[in-house]
Structure 1
Amino acid sequence: MAPGFEEAREAFERHLRAERDLSPHTVRAYLADVDAFLRYLALSGAETPAAIDITVLRNWLGEQHDAGRSRATLARRTASLRAFTAYAHRQGWLDSDPGLLLGTAKAGRALPKVLGHEQMAAVLNVPVTTDPKDLRDQAIMEVLYATGIRVGELCALDVDDVDRERHTIRVLGKGRKERVVPIGLPALRALDAWCVRGRPRWIRERTGPALFLGVRGGRIDAGTVRRIVHARLARVEGTPDTGPHGLRHTAATHMLEGGADLRSVQELLGHASLGTTQIYTHVSIDRLRAAYRQAHPRA
């Protein structure tokens, strides 16, 4: 990559991390897209961001489309380019912002995979031993389903984030927005079992306040949580294979099916927009149609 692009890329990374305070995952995704675009631009002989215009942006996205990139990938890459060109314009590298002329690539939403009520109950009722790993894994499954929090939010929980008197947990969500989420008695009991009989056996000098630990005493990571969820679901025959996000979908869907209003579910999940939460109404309708076709004699 030309030196001019390297400097621009490094400045953009600092902007994403320090000024916009985006999550590490989002920063990595944006930078990967911008890196790919700048390499494409360099192949044309360009050496600085000043060579960026609407034509080269559309040509690159067109090549991505022809290469078979999914609609979701194209939507994210469009967003990445817009963020970069807007920053380049503010820095004075571009006379105008060509990203404003890009159309919005709609990703399209697939209906999320959710577990039925009986399936979820079977997963949570699997016998649990007194082994710390078993106690931790059970508490993780209960908390994910009870609260619908994201896997990153679960990993970031500290011991003091659990309010047992009020039956709530304090969660730090996207954009470092804090919210308080209710949690049910079964999840609290599983947490108590882990905190009393499991967590103390894994505590080390470097453990700190983390609620959920790995076997070496450090804060648990998202990859470990995903493996736990997949393994737990695999223990119940006929249960769809999904991850922590599938449990989040399941919690939201079950709440709506139980009569919760959409605004309450939005608050629970920490969605900035009610439109994001509305996908769960589509899930419930889809499940209703499936049940109707299966049960009604004249469906």
Structure 2
Amino acid sequence: MTRTPERNAPESRGPSVSRRLRWGLLAGLGFVIVPLVYAAAVLTSTGQRVEDAALGGVRESDLFGSDTALNVISVPVILLLVVVIAAVAFARRRLAVGLGAGVVVLASAATSTLVKRIAERPEIAQSTTPNSFPSGHATIALAALFAVLLVTPRRFRAVVTLVGAAYAVFVANQTVVYGWHRVSDIVGACGIALFWLGVVRLVGPRVDRGERGDRDGDRGPRRIVTVVLLGATGVTFLVGVVALVVGLTGGSDGHDAILVAGRMASSASVLAVVAVVWLADGQHHVTRSDVSAPPARA
């Protein structure tokens, strides 16, 4: 008789820190990020001036403009996403995980709306741009990625992560380019999405059960994703620093350079959060159990 060898749950092969503690720490990190960024960037004159300097680089014709990537995010699309997530979870017989994924999307969107109404922006720096903390678009883009990853088999998460991260970065960039949001709004959005994902992974059901449908897939794509996420985060951060220095020391092009710095800072924030989630999920680990063992005969 031939039988497929048992596989241990992938989550147990992750870092030495336990699964629940790992996600609990990330939930705590997301919870702390939001008030700290709000206090530093929104409630201080220095923070407001630095961020408003980036808005000064937005062309008048683009201010509060729109883009297809931003217009896609709407209430009907969010509800459709939840339905699709539920359908995938039902097909995989993981209804509890699908429910948790729905919570990530809906709770993140609701929290972003609530914080936006509570976290008022005092006009310390005499800015004419209205309150926008945090970015609802960036929150939903990240929460949608995290929710889809919850119901996606591990062997497909490399592709989903890259596509979802690219879209989330594009959304974050466009909100800054069109003057919809400041960098702090994007960082706050990252904190909210990270918080709810951490909560769901902390108290919710185990996402990966170690069964055949949850196999990791080839090691190559996972290694590539790890390198791309970490490398892209580092590159965008460095480009942002250089652009900021040029903006502070430059002449007439200073506002344009600072706008580039703001875009890079927003992109780096999104990429860093996605990279942290990728690593916390244990996707970067390569062990002997990833290799299919020869069938045992009895």
Bin of the TM-score, shorter chain as denominator length: under 0.3
Q: Which has the larger helix fraction?
A: 2
Greater relative CO (CA pairs within 8 A, separation 6+): 2
TM-score normalised by L of structure 2: 0.23
Larger Rg: 1
